[in-house]
Every structure is written in C-alpha cells, then in structure tokens.
Amino acid sequence: MEKYIDGYLLSVPEANLDAYKKMAQQAQAVWLEHGALDYRECVADDIDKEGSAPFSAAAGAREGETVVFAWILYASKAARDEINAKVMSDPRLNGMSCEGVFDFKRMCWGGFNTLVGN
C-alpha cells in the first residue's frame, strides 16, 4: 500500500520563527503520538534559484518573512483521516492559535498520494 502525505507551504515572519518552532514541536508530538509515521517542518535555506520558479513566490513570502515547507507522512489516506480526526480533538492543540505567529489563510495545504518512494 502506498503511503500518504499532507504537505504544507507557508510564510512565517522571521521575527516569529521561534514561536512557530515551538508550535510545530508541540504539533509534531501530537501527530506522532496519534500514529503519523513522520512529521517534518523545514525552514528555507537555499531557495529561489535562477532558472526556476521561486519558492518564496509560491509561498507568498513578503519582506521579512521566511518560507516553511512541511509534511506529515501516513501509512495511507484512511490512516491520515483517522489520525487527523484524533489530532483535531486533542486538547493539547485546542488552545493553539496561529494568530500573531503566521497568516494561516496564506498557507497552502494538500494531500498527496505517493508516486515514487516507499
């Protein structure tokens, strides 16, 4: 059975990166506890190469913001749906708010079937 991935692309004000990291660490613990196989949050380092579309533009990054690329790995789409239902009702995340850390409405999110990999 192919694995399933939720992918995220967002912009975070550089001044808020520590607060974002703290939120991400808490979210990582919750997702993994509920059965996700892997959880990664990555901050831009070497992007926007000449000759290709810029990651910062895809993320809608503005002056003073950095790009975060993240993903959560699941055994299957059905497992993802079950895990996310548990995560969304987990009290550790109920009080967590993105407000003041990053603009949630500008975040890209989607589910992906595995094409290559195991």
Residue 1 pLDDT > 70, yes or no? no
Number of domains forming the structure of the chain: 1
pTM: 0.90
Question: Cβ(77)–Cβ(111) under 8 Å?
Answer: yes
Q: pLDDT tens for residues 66-86?
A: 999 999 999 999 999 999 999
- Is residue 118 situated within a structural domain? no
Supply the range of the domain harboring residue 22: 4-49+57-110
Class of residue 15 by CB neighbours under 10 A (exposed 0-12, middle 13-18, buried 19+): exposed
Specify the range with the lowest mean pLDDT, choosing from 35-39, 41-45, 82-86, 93-97. 93-97
Mean pLDDT of the chain: 91
